[in-house]
Structure 1
Amino acid sequence: MNNNYDKIAGHYDTLSRLVFFKSQVNAQINQLQHIPENSSVLIVGGGTGWILEELAKIYTGGLKIVYVEISAKMTVLSQKRNYKDNQIEFMDVGIEDFKTDVLFDVILTPFLFDNFAEQRAAKVFGQLNEYLKKDGLWFLVDFSLNKINGNWWKWLLLKSMYNFFKLMGIVEADKLIDMVPYFFKADYLIVEERLYYGGFIKATIFRK
């Protein structure tokens, strides 16, 4: 079980929108305006690549993007996107196997850490922290079990999601890891935080 979504790559966006409508999309789109022009950007777990087209709506060129996605089928879908004149390097590997000497201005991890058990989540955080420049921005979008609008339905929905993905043999995690303490321990500051879908989805921009 290696957090690989090949089995549902062709249906992932549809399934996501059936459950969350456009909340998962909006949580990511609304962060993109904070990306400076001509940035070097690392996207980890970008899925089908629709985010590349949204970035191209803001900047038709000038971005240097490294796109790390473990699912080969997701990567193929991403390569077909219209990202205009932005420079994209597609890496079909798990993030743990991705190595680089490049320091990035921006890191995007959309719904990445909810796939990992805590030990692996901590390891991946430490790895990505090394790849981000000082004063760089880290866009974290993930599920959140906060107490806004009640916790019971969020817990129930999250449990159902994990059970489904376990049944499909897709993810290793069976509970949600709160990543915010890792950022605070590494001296990140919150630039912006927004909640979506009744507070179940949280989008946070951190500055290193």
Structure 2
Amino acid sequence: MRNNYDNIASLYDRLSRLVFGRAQVNVQLDLIHTIASNSRILIVGGGSGWILEALAKLYPQGLMITYVEISANMLRIARNRYYGNNKVVFVEQAIEDYVAAPNSYDVIITSFLFDNFLRSKAEKVFRHLTALLVNEGRWLYADFYLEPQKKNRWKKGMLHLMYKFFGYVCRVEAKKLIDMEPYFQENGYRVLFCSLRYFGFVKGIVYQK
């Protein structure tokens, strides 16, 4: 199955910290502080689920979370996380196949998700998710970032190695990073907050629909 991290589920967090330190964690922590209490949240591709524990520290109760993850092994780890008295529904499914009513969520979280996709799928997933978000809802987006005005040689080198590795181990379909920011701009989203980590290679944005 494409874009499935089953093979390295137990190692992924340690591997991420080995390469990027806490940059991928910290950029997501920067974003979740903008979530309001009692929100309905859709987490897409949440991996091992450490973010559930982080959300529980902010709000021990009152959140309604849908956790969609394609990897059964990642989902197994996430189910054992502590998430307080928040209601969490775990869904083992590719996000493009997940069905919910329009405007079902106040918050959508996609962290290091779109870097897995070819452009055609990225566009399909974007349209699907934007339909699920309420007007004025917030989309917490985090991913790798290449600055348009810079050569980004070492960053491109790292991306190349990452795509080689994850393409082989996890059958990640993408070969290059897609800039998703124009899609948000063209669909009327506005930026509420932005965070840069790891020398600007890791970027987090809070968009409002």
TM range (shorter): over 0.9
Alpha-carbon separation, structure 2, partners of 1:181 and 1:149: 18
Give 1:150 deviation, angstroms. 5.5
1:193 is aligned to 2:194: yes
Matches within 5 A, 1:85-100: 85-100=85-100
The residue type equivalent to 1:5 in the other structure is Y
Helix, strand or coil at the partner of 1:142: strand
Q: Which residue of 2 aligns with 1:138?
A: 139
Q: Which residue of 2 aligns with 1:165?
A: 166
Helix, strand or coil at the partner of 1:100: coil
Contact 2:2 2:171 in 1 (8 A): yes
Matches within 5 A, 1:57-206: 57-101=57-101, 103-146=104-147, 151-206=152-207
Q: 5+ unaligned residues in a row in structure 2: which ranges? A: none
**Residues 68 and 96 of structure 1: CA distance in aligned 2, closer, same or farther (over 3 Å):** same
Q: Percent identity?
A: 49
TM superposition score normalised by structure 1: 0.97
Residue deviations 1:55-75, cap 9 Å, x none? 000000000000000000000
Q: 5+ unaligned residues in a row in structure 1: which ranges? A: none
The residue type equivalent to 1:124 in the other structure is V
Aligned residues: 208
Q: Which residue of 1 aligns with 2:29?
A: 29
What is the Cα-based RMSD across aligned positions, in Å? 1.2
The residue type equivalent to 2:197 in the other structure is Y
Alpha-carbon separation, structure 2, partners of 1:100 and 1:78: 21
Contact 1:60 1:86 in 2 (8 A): yes
TM superposition score normalised by structure 2: 0.97
The residue type equivalent to 2:55 in the other structure is L
